[in-house]
Amino acid sequence: MSVTMADVAKEAGVDKATVSRVLKGDPRISPKTREKVWEVIKRLGYKPNALARGLSARKSGLVYIVFEEQDLPQMNRFLRGVGRILAAMDKEPIVYVADYFDADFIRSRSMAHKVEGIIWVGSPPSDMDVPMVAVGDVTNRYVYVSPFWSDIAKEIKKIANGRKIVFVGDTKANSMLKRELAECGTDGENTLWICDGSLPGGIKRLIHPVDQKFLDIVNSDGEFTMGDLLLLFNDINYAKALGGGCIYLPSLEMGVLAARLLVNMLKNREVPQKNLVRLTIEF
């Protein structure tokens, strides 16, 4: 059995309540008592029991991070960002990844665990009543963090300068960019949209057997040539190998931002509902 507050109190010759106050930094405790209590705490290696604390305070200190996307290559970065903030606030991130849960599962468990808030990467169900930050989608029900697609669309249009565009990304990136490119007047017909999930063979750069020119083949249902603008989503090595550009999602920053927003909501501070992050493009 580990050291409890009662053990510390007895050893220090004070009441449990006093130990609790010392721990919270209550200013009404005499310096002498405070010092004594801290000494005992350290000597005994006492760690407050988070469960008991949660039960008493009606706060678990737990935050859910839900990943709905099947494949998010930048998950580590996002989690690093989230973790930095949460760790500083003494909150614990509980991570759920798509495919072994549904919305009801999350709802049920989050209630059982008295979760304080949820960061939901994807499209959260609209009837959750815990503090929620949605990441990736634009929604008017929750505070959200989303890439600034229209901004990058304009930049792409400028770079393409009339050339055919070949874009390889996930389902969401493709559809968002498609919409925004149309919005700023780029002909969708002139663009080839490829879902990297549907690329079992990948893109290969081959040399033509007859005229010795480069030929890029895309999974046998599309074809493009060296003159086209090839853009890949979030995969810099692959992009460089193919001589294309990389649209880069600032995942770590998004994690930091999402966690900050949530923490502020938990403190009952006002937070902006719309939060757009800038995408960058790199060749």
Partner DNA sequence: TTGTACGCGTTATCAT
Partner DNA sequence: ATGATAACGCGTACAA
- Find the part of the chain contacting a copy of itself (CB under 8 A) among 9-17, 46-54, 177-185, 260-268: 46-54
Q: Is-contact 269 142, C-beta < 8 A? A: no
Based on CB atoms, which residue is closest to DNA, 57 or 226?
57
* Residue 205: partners with Cβ closer than 8 Å, 6 or more residues away: 214, 215, 216, 241, 242, 243
Q: What angle do CA 83, 88, 89 make, to 5 degrees?
A: 100
Give which of a copy of itself, DNA, none residue 87 binds (C-beta under 5 to 8 Å, depending on kind).
a copy of itself
208 binds DNA (CB under 7 A): no
Compute the least distance from the CB of residue 184 to DNA, in Å. 53
Token pair for residue 247?
């649209």
Q: Which is nearer to DNA, 5 or 263 (CB)?
A: 5
Confirm if 255 and 80 have CB atoms less than 8 A apart: yes
Based on the shown chain and the rule CB under 7 A, indicate whether residue 268 belongs to the binding site for DNA. Answer: no
Interface with a copy of itself (CB under 8 A), residue from 12, 153, 239, 254: 239
Looking up tokens 């109190």, which residue turns up? 9
Query: What string marks each residue from 5 to 44 as x (binds DNA by CB under 7 A) or -?
Result: xx------xxxxxx-xx-xx-x-xxx-xxx----------
Among residues 150, 116, 122, which one has the least CA distance to residue 135?
122
The answer to whether 23 contacts a copy of itself (rule: CB under 8 A) is no
* Residue 101 contact among a copy of itself, DNA, none, beta carbon within 5 to 8 Å by kind: a copy of itself
Exactly one of 10, 38, 44, 53 binds DNA (CB under 7 A); that residue is 53
Q: Which is nearer to DNA, 14 or 173 (CB)?
A: 14
Residue 177 has, within 13 A of its CA and on its CB side, a CA count of: 26
Q: Which own/partner contact pairs does 151-156 have at CB distance under 8 Å and 24+ positions apart?
A: 151/276, 151/278, 151/279, 152/177, 152/180, 152/247, 152/278, 152/279, 152/280, 152/281, 153/177, 153/180, 153/181, 153/183, 153/184, 153/186, 154/184, 155/281, 156/181, 156/186, 156/229, 156/231, 156/247, 156/281
Q: Nearest distance from residue 60's CB to DNA, in Å?
A: 11
- Options 6, 55, 138, 281; binder of a copy of itself; rule CB under 8 A: 55
Sign of the C-alpha dihedral, residues 166, 170, 175, 177?
A: negative
- Contact set with DNA (CB under 7 A): 1-2, 4-6, 13-18, 20-21, 23-24, 26, 28-30, 32-34, 46-49, 52-53, 55-58
> Residues interacting with a copy of itself, by CB under 8 A?
2, 47-52, 54-55, 60, 62, 65, 67, 70-73, 75-76, 79-80, 83-84, 87, 92-101, 105, 108-109, 111-114, 196, 199, 201-205, 207, 212, 214, 235-243
